[in-house]
Amino acid sequence: MSAVILQFPTNTAQRANGAGLAVAIAAKRMGYRPHHIARAAALARREVLDGHKSAARAVADMTRDLAHGARSHTPGAA
């Protein structure tokens, strides 16, 4: 008997959208501006859709990067 593994793109798209939303919420709470929030969310969403990272990994990596950027005291970071 052979097993067939089905891939459902809607589930991947839903996970990607969820990852983007989680990143957007985190970035907003960190005080980032709307255009930075949209870019971070889009990057996280794209990493999941392309299959480079799981949704959880994409959110964790992006929020880590955002937190690092928010901690630096350079002008224009947030």
The answer to whether 19 touches 44, Cβ cutoff 8 Å, is yes
Check whether 9 has a pLDDT greater than 60.
no
The answer to whether residue 76 scores a pLDDT higher than 90 is no
**Looking at the domain assignment, is residue 25 inside a domain?**
no
Mean pLDDT along residues 37-65: 95
Our count of domains for the chain comes to 1
Query: What is the per-residue pLDDT across 27-40, written as a single tens digit (0 to 9) for each?
Result: 999 999 999 999 99
Whether 64 maps to a domain, the answer reads yes
Quote the domain boundaries for residue 62.
32-68
Tell me what pLDDT residue 71 has. 78
Q: Is 24 among the domain residues?
A: no
Question: Does residue 48 form part of some domain?
Answer: yes
Read off the pLDDT of each residue in 63-77 and give the average, rounded to a whole number: 77
- The answer for residues whose C-beta is within 8 angstroms of residue 44's C-beta and 6 or more apart is 19, 20, 22, 23, 58, 59, 61, 62
Give me the percent of the chain exceeding a pLDDT of 90. Answer: 69
